[in-house]
Structure 1
Amino acid sequence: MQRLWPFYGRIVMNAHLLHFKDQLTDDFQFKFIRHKGLKFQQSLHMHDYIQIAYVVRGVGNHHFLDKTLTVGKGDLFIIPPLKAHSINTIDGKELEFVLLDFMPAFLGDHLRPFSRSVFHHVTQFEKSGTSSEWLQPWLHISQDKQLLVEQLLQDIQEEIEEREEGYEFSVQINVVKLLILIDREFRKTERQRHQAACQKPQYQQFQDVVRHIHENYGQDIPLEQGAYIANMTPAYFSHLFKKATGQTFVEYLHEVRIERAKELIRLGVHTMTQICFQVGFRHLSHFIRTFKKRTGLTPTEYKKSVMNN
């Protein structure tokens, strides 16, 4: 009989269970998948193995821990065994992501010195008893570390494709490096939240949210993502954000995007459609309407005024 781990609470009965042994084509106990395109639809499913998912570019929806988040470049998930989830594209929007599938035993003893790591808390679920702060539905890799993550993933892919002597060990070491990087990013995020909660006035908790908006305004940034960064419930976050900034979360996001759009218009090297998508709007009509609401001019009128001046 299939054993069900109590750490994960109720099992989602309508989620298909995937077995690791059925995913393999050879004796190498590891699988690498890279998907890129406009269409990718998964039904709700579970694994009996660990899966790491990383968004390389574009936007999509990830359903995990009974929530659906719009995810973008730099978002990463560690999906434990027997936890229902699905990844899906959004109509007309490209999504590129990487999946790493493996059993905890694949890493051998390489993570033993990191007994306090986030990955340890995922792999030792049988002993944990309850979900902890270590099992988070979403982690955003900071912009300065995204290139390093993507290089590690590229190295893993090349090793698997070329299969030169010793490739198994090289893949194993690169996965360990990736997990250490993830752990450090997680700890950094947790420290920032703790400091914001314990040492700063409450409104300063939004500094990380504001920084995230300015660094990622070209991506979809849902309110839930801002709430997660601020370590608040979405409703409480929405209330305090407006109280602290004088604007709703969406209004502030639009302000950042429109200011960047004005800069690009003044440069005069992009079309309005290019600028629209570059600053994070997904429909030209929405961009024009928002631009006029905030500036009193349409983008074209603003461009003419700049040229006249």
Structure 2
Amino acid sequence: MNEDLDLPLFQGRDELNRDFPFKIFRYASPLMKQSLHMHDYVQIAYVRQGMCNHQLLGKSLTVSQGDLFIIAPGNGHSISAIEDQAFELIMADFLPELLEGHLGPMEDYLKRYLTPGPAAAPYSWLHVGKHRQPLVLQLLQDMQDEYDHKEVGYEFAIRISLLKLLTVAEREYRAVRRSPGRQSVAADREPIEEARRYVHDNYSQDIPLEHGAYIANMAPAYFSHMFKHVTGQSFIDYVNEVRIERAKELIRRQSLTVTQIGFQVGYRHLSHFIRTFKKRTGITPTEYKKTFGGSAEPIGERGMNK
């Protein structure tokens, strides 16, 4: 029995177009804070960038770029911003009937993503590997373009992209299931989440891999393997992602120097901060500040080799 049946509906199918029950949109509000709710339609949520919190299946998850959720009808969830953390979600809502008769040879695999209630729970959350993230983004963008312009045949084009997206999700899911030690993935996901939450709460401190392993109660080598297996990136890369996302937020919102910002987000050496920032964004902190920040002159990069 679904424990969420007593939750109020956040949105119902009446808000979708009757002739073509589909819509796609984006969320990026730093004030976003949903109440726990459920839908009577399918919702796909993809974290395009940044980080936010997702309450799902009774758990609080800190989610980041590459996380994909397929929320079946009747399953409770909520999405909320994390204080001072920028993020962007791409959301697609549709009725399962939209794909009836179109699943073809993939019907037995894809219908489990569309099944109402708890039967779909194991397939609700997936981290898309980096090699497939560009494809997922392109499919979502194609659907957005078709939905916005509604040229002749847009319904057909959206169905094709939606089926392709669900197929990609299914293949990613099966890849995880085929991996050695797959039984341990589900058991170890929660300790990995604890380590991720610790990073979000303590990014300004030194966080060596050994500390993350201690939080997850795992041997360092096994923790390193499982962290990458679950998240698609190394622990160090994840720490840097959290720090750089926070640094970008500080640059946009505060008149601090680059040196001060680097120190606040956990970098003790300015050259390391600049090098990591440029590697992840393609530009230096000063260049980012000139484009997105205030008028205060950043100091500390002058004369350094970028």
TM-score by structure 2 length? 0.64
Structure possessing the higher radius of gyration over alpha carbons: 1
1:131 to 1:235, Cα distance in 2 relative to 1, 3 A: farther
Q: Which residue of 1 aligns with 2:181?
A: 196
Q: Which residue of 2 aligns with 1:121?
A: 112
1:167 aligns with 2:154: yes
Q: Which residue of 1 aligns with 2:196?
A: 221
Tell me, yes or no, if the aligned pair for 2:55 and 2:79 is still in contact at 8 Å: yes
Instruction: Work out the CA distance in 2 between the residues paired with 1:170 and 1:255.
Output: 36
1:101 to 1:196, Cα distance in 2 relative to 1, 3 A: same
Tell me, yes or no, if the aligned pair for 1:45 and 1:84 is still in contact at 8 Å: yes
1:285 to 1:94, Cα distance in 2 relative to 1, 3 A: closer
1:91 to 1:256, Cα distance in 2 relative to 1, 3 A: closer
SS, match of residue 3 in structure 2: coil
1:100 aligns with 2:78: no
Structure 2 residue identity aligned to 1:168: E
Q: Which residue of 2 aligns with 1:227?
A: none
Structure 2 residue identity aligned to 1:108: E
Q: Which residue of 2 aligns with 1:44?
A: 36
Tell me, yes or no, if the aligned pair for 1:16 and 1:44 is still in contact at 8 Å: no
Gaps of 5+ in 1: 1-5, 214-219, 225-233, 262-269, 277-283, 289-297
- Pairwise CA distance, 1:10: 1.9
Instruction: Work out the CA distance in 2 between the residues paired with 1:26 and 1:77.
Output: 24
Tell me, yes or no, if the aligned pair for 2:113 and 2:124 is still in contact at 8 Å: no
Instruction: Work out the CA distance in 1 between the residues paired with 2:18 and 2:107.
Output: 31
Instruction: Work out the CA distance in 2 between the residues paired with 1:301 and 1:107.
Output: 52
SS, match of residue 119 in structure 2: coil
Aligned partner of 1:18 among 11, 15, 21: 11
Instruction: Work out the CA distance in 1 between the residues paired with 2:26 and 2:42.
Output: 16
Q: Which residue of 1 aligns with 2:217?
A: 239
1:197 to 1:11, Cα distance in 2 relative to 1, 3 A: closer
1:77 aligns with 2:69: yes
Identity of aligned residues (%): 33
Instruction: Work out the CA distance in 2 between the residues paired with 1:136 and 1:197.
Output: 15
1:287 aligns with 2:266: yes
Instruction: Work out the CA distance in 1 between the residues paired with 2:238 and 2:46.
Output: 26
Aligned partner of 1:185 among 172, 185, 203: 172
Q: Which residue of 2 aligns with 1:139?
A: 126
The number of residues matched between the two structures is 234
- Pairwise CA distance, 1:11: 2.6
Tell me, yes or no, if the aligned pair for 1:62 and 1:70 is still in contact at 8 Å: yes
TM-score by structure 1 length? 0.64
Instruction: Work out the CA distance in 2 between the residues paired with 1:302 and 1:34.
Output: 33
1:68 aligns with 2:47: no
What's the RMSD between the two structures over aligned residues? 3.9
